[in-house]
Amino acid sequence: MHVVIVGSGIAGLTAAIRASARHDVTLVTKGALADAATSHAQGGIAVALGADDTVALHAADTHVAAAGSADARAVEVLCSDGPARVRDLLALGVPFDRTDDPASLDRYGDDLARGREAAHGRWRVVHAAGDATGAAIEQTLIRALHRQHVTILERTCLTGLVVRDGTVVGIDVLDLLGEPRRIDADAVVLASGGAGHLYRETTNPLVATGDGAAAAWRAGAVLADLEFMQFHPTRLAVSGGGLVSEAVRGEGAVLRDARGRRFMPDVHPDAELAPRDVVARGIAAAMRDGGQVFLDATGLDPDFLVARFPGLTRATRAAGFDWTREGVPVAPAAHYFMGGIATDAEGRTSIPGLLAIGEAACTGVHGANRLASNSLLEGLVFAVRAADAVDAARPGLLRLRGDATFPVTTVRDEAAAIRASRQCRPGGPDHRDPQAHVRQTVQTVMTDRVGLLRDAGGLAAARREFAALAVDVPRTVLEHEDRALLDLARLVARAAEARTESRGAHARTDHPDTDPGAPASTGWVAVRSSVSDPVPEEALA
């Protein structure tokens, strides 16, 4: 079989290495191999390897963080397969940090250094190079990939899926020279990452524009849980500032408001180590009340802080701060898309021939809010399962979650209503915002109206504003990215409007409570005359 894998983070690289033992594999990635979100991951991988830990405890923490919305089967797979998959990384040579502390050796039964992050009941987050775990894993996997017989196409952008007789049979791309090209495949695995650039502020790299999820949507795949975007609580709040790992708070750093008051103990019993959605909203509230919020690590030993977090020490110094002596300003930022292409535990989607893994996929394992440091583990675990299941991807259709409470909404063409609404806008019915402003408008509207806090009025306004935008005939990589972001923005706003409750990362100020009768997960699929037809833009608005 010829297997085409799109994406070069932990999921794509792992799947390519695994599948290449039995198949002809082509790996396509939009940037260079290392230009993936994995390279930016700081904290580590959560895994129940220690003598004091169990799969059941890890699973329980995952369910709590997910606001009770995670798929039980997916969580079981993640946590039970996790130890073997991390041992695979050890065998490949990932340089996980070690300790010679006798108490740790006695407690855990091995010499792996561990951190603790939000909503974890155990110190189970293994890490490398202090705060550069993702980069260490990425480079190790790239070296392993080069030892396999895999065709690698860098700087090649996915623009669409090729569907024939209801089955995915290849992909369309823009190649290194910007020329359109078609790549035939017996199976396609989308490992193309998330969509953090739906928002103005994100911890994601530039490549995270939702290309895979949008292409799957246009091909007729079911997408799920689109209202759930996780905002990481602590991005360094300076121009160009990046993620400040949750592991810093796990080691004892605290959050203080502009008056120097530690406020998170008033928000949640776990204070700074509450689930991410809780901490992010707590920070946002403190910022509304009085300006900046600061991460205060001055209570930690300075030598320990610098040794444990060398990358963050460099980043804070570059921003003009000495975090061994002063707090650093932080703010929430879009971080991880719990939604994506609906899959089962083997990565199979609702379309034969198409699989999805990593952040592009939605297995249900994260529910309404991802547990810290479960993302690298998810990419690793489900990549192996998808690579092993690729032979069976063509003949069968996914039974979504096997859960009768998983409703799928069919999105119909609303072109007539949108055309009528455009009559009321300056410029008449043919008015469009200039294409150059599509991304800026999407990011502004998503941040202001579909962000940490949402309400009916803002969501309705967002849908109207997205209806006025169009990317008519994308020809460049940037235009294809803009189309993907616009497609997903429309869907996220619609899904958020439909969920009239608050759950995990989805917080409605007009519906602040969780509705126990609401479905934990919801799916969305486009209707068209033929599965190979493109989805009209108006159908998404």
Query: What's the CA gap between 127 and 442, in Å, rounded?
Result: 35
- Beta strand pairing call for 293-296 and 157-164: unpaired
CA torsion, points 31, 32, 34, 36, in degrees to nearest 10? 10
Tell me which of 276, 385, 401, 508 is the catalytic residue. 276
Instruction: Return the ∠ at Cα 367 (arms to 121 and 521), rounded to 5°.
Output: 155
Sign of CA dihedral 65, 67, 68, 72: negative
Tokens of 50: 């220690």
Query: What's the CA gap between 228 and 169, in Å, rounded?
Result: 30
Query: What's the CA gap between 228 and 368, in Å, rounded?
Result: 6
Query: What's the CA gap between 85 and 433, in Å, rounded?
Result: 48
Q: At 173, is the secondary structure helix, strand, or coil?
A: strand
Q: Any long-range contacts for 108-114 (C-beta under 8 Å, 24+ apart)?
A: 108/49, 108/50, 108/51, 108/52, 109/50, 109/51, 110/49, 110/50, 112/49, 112/50, 114/50
Cβ neighbours around 432 below 10 Å, total: 15
Query: What's the CA gap between 116 and 222, in Å, rounded?
Result: 35
Residue located via tokens 């003598």: 51
Q: Which residues pair with 180 in a beta bridge?
A: 174
Angle between helices 72-92 and 133-146 (to 10 degrees): 70
Q: At 161, is the secondary structure helix, strand, or coil?
A: strand
| H-type alpha helices, 54-109 | 55-65, 72-92, 102-108
Under a CB-based contact definition with an 8 Å cutoff, are residues 506 and 454 in contact?
A: yes
Does the annotation mark 276 as catalytic? yes
Sign of CA dihedral 229, 235, 238, 242: negative
The per-residue DSSP string of 373-392 comes to T-HHHHHHHHHHHHHHHGGG
CA 398 to chain centre: 22
User: For residues 78-88, b (16+ Cβ closer than 10 Å) or e, as one string?
Assistant: bbebbbebbee
Under a CB-based contact definition with an 8 Å cutoff, are residues 500 and 454 in contact?
A: no
Q: CA separation (Å) from 380 to 3, 68, 95, 151, 477?
A: 18, 23, 16, 21, 28
Query: What's the CA gap between 415 and 422, in Å, rounded?
Result: 10
Q: How many residues does the chain have?
A: 541
Active site residues: 276
